[in-house]
Amino acid sequence: MSDTGNARRRSTSLWAQHEWSIVALAAAMAFLLGCWGYALAMSPSAAGSEHTWWDVVYASFQLFIFEGPDATAGWPLQLQIARALAPVVLLYTAAAAILKRTETQIALYKLLFRKRRFVVVCGIGETGFRIAKQYLRHSDKQVVVIEKDPMNPMAAELAKWGAIVIFGNAMDPVTLDRARVVYAKEVFLCTHDDQANIAAAKAIDRLTRVLSDSDMAAMAKTVQRHEPHLAGEPPYVGLRAFLCVDEPHLYDVFANHPFFAHATDRFAIRIFNRKQTIARNVFSRCAPDMYYMPREESQPPMHVLFVGFDNLVGELILQTALTAHYPDRRRAQITVLCGDVNRERVQRFLYRFPHLESVVSLKTSFHDPLTLSQAQWVDLQREAPFSVAYVAMREDVDGILAARRLNRHRRQLGEAPVNMVVCLNQQTFLAEIIDDDFLPIIDDKSSLPAHEPIEYFETLDETITIDVVVNDALDTLARTLHNAYLDTLAQTEPAQTAAENASIVPWSALPAHKKQANQHAAAHIATKLRSHGCIACDESDERPAIAFPPDESAMEVLAQVEHRRWMADKQLAGYDYGDTRDEDFMTHPDLVPWEKLGESDKEKDRSNIRQIAGLLAMQGKKVCASG
pLDDT at 537: 92
Which domains are delineated in the chain?
Answer: 3-101 (no CATH), 114-278 (3.40.50.720), 290-466 (3.40.50.720), 472-494+501-625 (1.10.490)
Q: What's the pLDDT tens digit per position in 69-93? A: 666 677 788 888 888 888 888 888 8
Computed on alpha carbons and rounded to an integer, the radius of gyration of the chain in Å comes to 32
pLDDT at 248: 74
- 3-class state of residue 122 by DSSP: strand
Spell out the SS3 assignment of 39-67. HHHHCCCCCCCCCCHHHHHHHHHHHHHCC
Q: Name 458's bridge partners.
A: 424
Q: At what angle do helices 53-62 and 3-42 cross, to 10 degrees?
A: 140
List b or e across 591-621, with b for residues whose CB sees 16 or more CB atoms inside 10 angstroms.
beebeebeeeebebbbebbebbbebbebbeb
pLDDT at 66: 78
Q: CA–CA separation, 345 vs 351, rounded Å?
A: 10
pLDDT at 320: 95
DSSP conformational letter for 335 = E
Q: CA–CA separation, 131 vs 149, rounded Å?
A: 18
**Sequence-ordered list of residues with C-beta below 8 angstroms from that of 202, at least 6 positions apart, any chain:** 259
User: What is the phi/psi pair of residue 9, to 5°?
Assistant: -65, -40
ω into 549 cis (within 30 of 0): yes
Average pLDDT of 616-622?
88
293-to-306, 382, 531 alpha-carbon distances in Å: 18, 20, 7
Q: At what angle do helices 311-323 and 274-286 cross, to 10 degrees?
A: 50
Q: At what angle do helices 343-352 and 248-255 cross, to 10 degrees?
A: 20
Q: Where are any strands of DSSP class E within 434-530?
A: 438-440, 454-458
Greater confidence (494 vs 26) lies with: 26
- 3-class state of residue 334 by DSSP: strand
358 pLDDT higher than 50: yes
Residue 406 has a CB neighbour count (10 Å cut-off) of 23
CA atoms within 13 A on the CB side of 580: 6
Q: What's the pLDDT tens digit per position in 171-211? A: 999 999 999 999 999 999 998 887 888 889 999 999 999 89
**Alpha helices (H) in 234-309, listed in sequence order:** 248-255, 258-261, 274-286
pLDDT at 75: 76
DSSP conformational letter for 331 = P
Q: Which amino acid is at 485?
A: Y
153-to-82, 129, 165, 188 alpha-carbon distances in Å: 40, 10, 12, 19
Average pLDDT of 115-132?
93
Q: Which amino acid is at 516?
A: Q
Which of the four pLDDT bands, split at 50, 70 and 90, describes residue 5? very low
Q: Which amino acid is at 427?
A: Q
pLDDT at 427: 62
- 3-class state of residue 81 by DSSP: helix
Q: CA–CA separation, 88 vs 94, rounded Å?
A: 10
Average pLDDT of 304-308?
97
372-to-365, 367, 369, 405 alpha-carbon distances in Å: 10, 7, 5, 8
DSSP conformational letter for 66 = T
Average pLDDT of 156-170?
93
DSSP conformational letter for 266 = S
Task: Report yes or no: 546 and 533 within 8 Å, Cβ to Cβ.
Answer: no
Task: Report yes or no: 147 and 194 within 8 Å, Cβ to Cβ.
Answer: no
Average pLDDT across the chain, whole number: 86
Q: CA–CA separation, 38 vs 44, rounded Å?
A: 9
- pTM listed for this prediction: 0.80
**Alpha helices (H) in 324-471, listed in sequence order:** 343-352, 374-380, 396-412, 430-433, 459-463
Q: What's the pLDDT tens digit per position in 89-118? A: 888 888 877 777 778 888 899 999 999 999
pLDDT at 72: 67
pLDDT at 548: 94
156 pLDDT higher than 60: yes
pLDDT at 2: 44
Which of the four pLDDT bands, split at 50, 70 and 90, describes residue 310? confident
Q: What's the pLDDT tens digit per position in 240-296? A: 999 888 777 777 777 667 777 667 888 988 888 888 889 999 999 999 999 999 988
Q: What's the pLDDT tens digit per position in 490-517? A: 777 776 766 666 677 777 677 777 888 8
DSSP conformational letter for 393 = -
List b or e across 21-46, with b for residues whose CB sees 16 or more CB atoms inside 10 angstroms.
eeeeebbeebbebbbbbbbebbebee
State the virtual CA torsion across 87, 92, 98, 100 in degrees, nearest 10. -150
pLDDT at 624: 94
Which of the four pLDDT bands, split at 50, 70 and 90, describes residue 232? low
Task: Report yes or no: 289 and 527 within 8 Å, Cβ to Cβ.
Answer: yes
Strands of the 239-245 sheet, one edge to the other: 164-167, 142-147, 118-122, 186-189, 239-245, 267-273
Task: Report yes or no: 184 and 239 within 8 Å, Cβ to Cβ.
Answer: yes
378-to-224, 302, 331, 355, 382 alpha-carbon distances in Å: 60, 17, 22, 29, 7
159-to-165, 436, 468 alpha-carbon distances in Å: 6, 35, 24
Percent of the chain past pLDDT 90, that is, above it, reads 45
- 3-class state of residue 145 by DSSP: strand
40 pLDDT higher than 90: no
592 pLDDT higher than 90: yes
Q: CA–CA separation, 616 vs 480, rounded Å?
A: 9
Q: What's the pLDDT tens digit per position in 338-354? A: 999 999 999 999 999 99
pLDDT at 231: 56
Average pLDDT of 214-224?
90
Greater confidence (487 vs 586) lies with: 586
Task: Report yes or no: 321 and 568 within 8 Å, Cβ to Cβ.
Answer: yes
Which of the four pLDDT bands, split at 50, 70 and 90, describes residue 1? very low
Task: Report yes or no: 490 and 457 within 8 Å, Cβ to Cβ.
Answer: no
DSSP conformational letter for 502 = T
Residue 173 has a CB neighbour count (10 Å cut-off) of 14
Average pLDDT of 113-131?
93
Q: What's the pLDDT tens digit per position in 424-481? A: 987 655 555 565 678 888 888 888 877 778 899 999 888 888 888 887 666 778 888 8
pLDDT at 429: 59
pLDDT at 3: 47
| Length of the chain in terms of residues written | 627
597 pLDDT higher than 80: yes
Q: CA–CA separation, 479 vs 477, rounded Å?
A: 5
pLDDT at 515: 81
